[in-house]
A and B are shown apart, each in its own frame.
Chain A
Amino acid sequence: MAGHSGLGYYLRRVLRVSLETGTMAHLLHRVTGLLIVVYLFLHIGAMSYTYFDAGSGFDDLMATFASTPFLIVDLVLFAGVMIHGLNGLRIMLFDMGYFSRRQKELFWVMMAIAATSVLIATWLVGAAHGWW
């Protein structure tokens, strides 16, 4: 197994190959997944405010989250969720034997759906907060 496992093997595999569609999809899936896990813990932490400070603390926190910088972070999160979710759907389709010879095309179709949904969400949030 020497040379075929561990951090060194992983980095060689990822860094030495050119960023082909499959590698890109794999990396995107991991990065978005890990970011969403970090957000999940922050989200559970924020909801804990309802227990620790059930006065105005929670409402103040939510008002802060409604400010422009946090709304942008929200949209980045939405983009991460859409990319991860749609690529996950793509992986499940492979598991079931579908599209395995069309994996690159399917990746770009999924990313086009993700991009469209993020544009719609950005337009809705921007319109509601007077960005345009």
Chain B
Amino acid sequence: MGGGELQQTVHIHASKRSFWLWFLQRVSSVGLIVVLLFHMIVLHYVDPSAEITLADTHVRLQSFLFIIVDSLLLGFGLFHGLNGVRNVAYDYFPKPGTRKAISSILLIVGVVVFVWGAFVLVNLVLAG
């Protein structure tokens, strides 16, 4: 069992954009496995009886590690999630015009929510 067990050569014709979206979907997924597990275990499962408070959140976000983890969660999560929605939508809508509209809407939603999330995060860091 190992790499190279498939002997046939597969020629994939994909645009550069398709390749990069596929590649970034993989990169963000590996990133999410690390930061999302860290986030869920530290916040919810190390001490499951602890209630999250604003004061604790301010203290936590004075740590560089949590600022990095939360920023990566926001960026990776939005990209991976919305690109995933795009992948699903492309299965249902084959027309190029519809696909372009879907991609544009998802891009706008992603940028707006990222800017908003980053604003909330910066506000939390500065208020601490």
Contacts and interface: CB of A to CB of B under 8 A. Distances in A.
A30 B85 CA distance: 9
Nearest to A54: B54
**Interface SS, B side:** helix
B26 A101 contact: no
Contacts of A33: 81, 84, 88
18 contacts: A7-B92, A10-B91, A33-B84, A37-B82, A40-B78, A50-B54, A50-B57, A50-B124, A62-B52, A63-B51, A78-B44, A81-B36, A92-B29, A97-B5, A128-B47, A128-B48, A128-B49, A129-B49
Interface residues of B, number: 45
B84 A98 contact: no
> Nearest 7 pairs between A and B by C-beta?
A128-B48, A128-B49, A5-B94, A37-B81, A97-B3, A62-B52, A125-B48
Interface size class of A (residues with CB under 8 A): 35 or more
A124 B51 CA distance: 15
A36 B33 CA distance: 14
B92 A10 contact: yes
Interface of B: 1-6, 26, 29-30, 32-33, 36-37, 40, 44-45, 47-49, 51-54, 57, 74, 77-78, 81-82, 84-85, 88, 91-94, 113, 116-117, 119-121, 123-124, 127
Given A40-B78, A128-B48, A6 B94 contact: yes
